[in-house]
Structure formats: structure tokens, C-alpha cells
Amino acid sequence: MTITQRDRDLGTAYAMKPAQTRTELTSVVRGTPMGELLRRYWHPVGLVGDATGTPKKVRALGEDLVLFRDKHGRTGLLHARCCHRGTTLYYGKVEEDGIRCCYHGWKFDAEGHCLEQPCEPGGGRFRDKVRQPWYPVEERYGLIFAYMGSAEKRPVLPRYECLENMDDGEFVEADDSSIGGGGPAVIPCNWLQHFENVVDPYHVPVLHGSFSGPQFTDMMASMPEVRFDKTPRGIAVRSIRKQDDGKVFYRVTEAALPTLRVVPNPRVAQFARVESIGWTLPIDDTSFRIYVAGRVKTSGDIGRMRSKFNGKFWWDMTEEEHQQFPGDYEAQVGQGEVTVHSEEHFGQSDRGILMIRRMLSEQLEAMDADRDPIGVSFDASAPPVEFEAGNYIRDA
């Protein structure tokens, strides 16, 4: 292969450099830099109602797990492969005090202790020598959170002001059904493509204001003036749009490391602090899903906020309609399973993306230096985390 200067001058695809991805930022596998950073935080892995007497498959950070609730109400999150000879506990039976593997009947409690080995002499005299790999879980805001990192570094599961203090008639509800902007529950591309979207306000008037048809309100369709600022846990995007009446529509969205979208309702139903938090759960390197917890007045409100395109839900659209009215799903999955960083060209409007990548890199450096990454807290009595995110009207 010989690329000449003429090829470069002409800019044909033949002159392209070999494709490169910054896998230290994208890969979520245990033992990789980002995989280890992500394992310093709690992640939602299901709705509270997902843990039942029927085992449920969970895939998180590239690991296959099984979620269940024993008859005592204890939630178990165990590695799917049985530590005996490796069949999946998905076909196991949930009992009083644990889950029993379908193959040879070994029984494990919610913390992986082996309680019975029915094929072994004496019911398994050495059963305390084996342990099914497991993860600690905690339930909050209608979600089941798992901590998949080192016990030494286990932080407290944070509380958030916007999910603690209710306005009149509000309660917290969780949802796991889509990326909100329209799409299926599981999105087939790397999680970072989605997380970066949170600090990309300029795509809103283009993708959501024009291409997909005015998807949100008219207020969101104009090009904003934007400021990006670091916060104690991520990046705040402050968008200012001057209104015809001389007032200013001030919208703040935040990305909180490692995966939180703190995005006020883009339909701007009210001018108020942010009403929900979305967690980007990396399923593996090439897929993710979103868990949302939000303040609602009526059950199902989060699902009802879902975007429509051309009057239709994403899954009801034809291929031609997806081309005519693309949304977040099309744009992000369109970047490929894992985007190719060496082919990007940044402009002024991409400052947020550069900031969030730099901030993620800084956390990797912090871990190398044995410092705690941003936003982890070991203080169980710390007040709830407060965000500035919201839609506000101000005098100019």
C-alpha cells in the first residue's frame, strides 16, 4: 500500500490513516483502565421489580450475571456461570434462602455462599471452600444498584436532591425502556457515544429541531449561546436563548461522572430544577442501556415523555422514516459500534466533548496515582448531591 501526496491532496478515502479508537476511554471490561474506573461507582442493573423468584439475565460492564430475590426478600446478583461446572444459573430455581443450579443442584445464597451440594458425600462437606462470584446490591429510587469493584474502595451509594425532595403530588418512579430520545431499550453501540451526547447541546437544534422534525418545543429549536463549565462531579452545559419577550431561556444540563445524564425535560413543560437522572449502563463495549429515575405525578410519566418522530414511536417507523427523521439512536449508533477517534475533526462547538474526555482521562490518572476519582464519597452522612440542572426563565 503506497499513499502518495497526490492521494492526500485529493482527499480520497484511500489516503485515510489506520483507524484508531481510544479504548482506554471506551472499554468497560474488568482490568481495562475505564473498566476499573467504572468499577469505582455504583451502577443500576435493574428495576426493583426485576428481582423476583424467577432468575433474570443481567449483563453489565461485560459480565453476565443473574439477578433474583430469594423467599426471604434478599436480592442476589451472582455471576451467571455456576462455579461447579459452568452452566448458567439462569435456569436455576430460586428457593427460600438462595438459588439452586439446575445441573447438579448446588445451592448458593445471595452472597454466593454454597449451601448445598446434593451429589457430594454428606451434602458437600467442603462446600464452604467454594463460592459463587457475586456482587453487593442496594435498592434506591426504584432501581437496583450494583457495586462491581474492589471491596476496599466501595463508596456509599449516593443520594440526589432532585430525587429526595418532592414537589406537591410527586413521587419517584424508575424506567428502563429506552434512551428517551427514541429507540429500543438496548442500544448497539459504545456507552461513551451516548454519554458524550449529554455535553453536545449544538446537536439539539440540528438533529432534534430540524432533521427529526421539531421534536421538543420551539424554544429548543434555536441555536443557543453555550458555556461549558467544570463542576465538582462533571461538566455543566449552560445554554442561553434570548426570547422574543426580552427574557432569557436558561437551560442547564449536566454530565456527572462516570455515566449520569442530568438533563431537564427537553419539552420544557415547566421552568424548574431537573426532574430526573439517567444512568448510562455500559452492557459491554458495544452496547448500553439507560435507567432513569424521576419525580412524576402520574405513574408512567417517564415513558410518556418519549419522543415521537413524524407522529410515530421509534419502533413503529419504517426504514425510510428512520432515514427521513433520524434521532439520537440513529446518530449515535451511526457512529459505529465503537467510534473511530482518529477520524474525528473537532470544532468550537465540540468543547464539551473534549472536556469530558479530558476529565475521564484525569480520573484514570488519579487512579494510577492511587487517588479517588471524582464524585465518590465514603461519607454515609453526606447531604444529597445537588445539581444545577434545570430549565429557567430569567430577565435578560
Would you tell me which residues interact with Fe ion (CB under 5 A)?
Answer: 181, 328
Under the binding rule (CB under 6 A), the answer on residue 114 touching ligand FES is no
> Binding of ligand FES at residue 101 (CB under 6 A)?
yes
Q: Which residues of 74-103 are buried (b: 16+ CB within 10 A; e: fewer)?
A: ebbbbbbbbbbeeebbbebbbbebbbbbeb
- Span near ligand FES by CB under 6 A; candidates 7-15, 59-67, 78-86, 122-130: 78-86
SS3 content of the chain, % helix, strand, coil (to 5): 25, 30, 45
Residue 158's binding partner out of Fe ion, ligand FES, none, with CB under 5 to 8 Å set by partner kind: none
Least Cα distance to 106 among 188, 126, 251 occurs for 126
Closest to ligand FES by CB, 120 vs 321, is 120
Among 28, 38, 65, 82, binds ligand FES (CB under 6 A): 82
Q: What residue type is 380 in one-letter code?
A: A
Inter-residue contact 248 to 393 (CB < 8 Å): yes
- Residue whose grid cell is 479517588: 372
Pick from 290, 278, 282: nearest CA to 191: 282
Q: Which is nearer to Fe ion, 181 or 373 (CB)?
A: 181
140 in contact with ligand FES (CB under 6 A): no
- In the complex with Fe ion, which residue's Cβ is closer, 32 or 332? 332
Q: Say how far apart CA 298 and CA 206 lie, in whole Å.
A: 32
Q: Which listed range, 62-70, 85-93, 350-358, 379-387, lies at the site for ligand FES (CB under 6 A)?
A: 85-93
C-alpha cell at 50: 426485576
User: Residue 103 or 271: which CB sits closer to ligand FES?
Assistant: 103
Among 94, 93, 65, 62, which Cα is nearest to 77's? 65
Q: Which does 104 bind (CB under 5 to 8 A by kind): Fe ion, ligand FES, none?
A: ligand FES
Q: Does 106 bind ligand FES (CB under 6 A)?
A: yes
Which of ligand FES, Fe ion, none does 82 bind, CB closer than 5 to 8 A by kind? ligand FES
| Cβ distance to Fe ion smaller for residue 263 or 359 | 263
Residue 104 binds to ligand FES (criterion: CB under 6 A): yes
Q: Which of 40, 69, 84, 261 is in the footprint of ligand FES by CB under 6 A?
A: 84
Q: Which of 330, 313, 58 is nearest to 176 (CA)?
A: 58
- In the block, residue with C-alpha cell 442500544: 187
Supply the minimum distance, in Å, between the C-beta of residue 188 and Fe ion.
Answer: 17
| Residue 33, C-alpha cell as written in the block | 483502565
Residue-wise DSSP of 256-316:
ETTTEEE---TT--SSSB--EEEEEEEEETTEEEEEEEEEESSTTHHHHT---BTTB-GGG
Residue 87 found at the interface with ligand FES (CB under 6 A): yes
Rounded to the nearest whole angstrom, what is the least distance from the CB of residue 93 to ligand FES in the complex? 12
Kindly tell me which of 175 and 328 has the beta carbon lying closer to Fe ion: 328
Residues forming the site for ligand FES (CB under 6 A): 82, 84-87, 101, 103-106
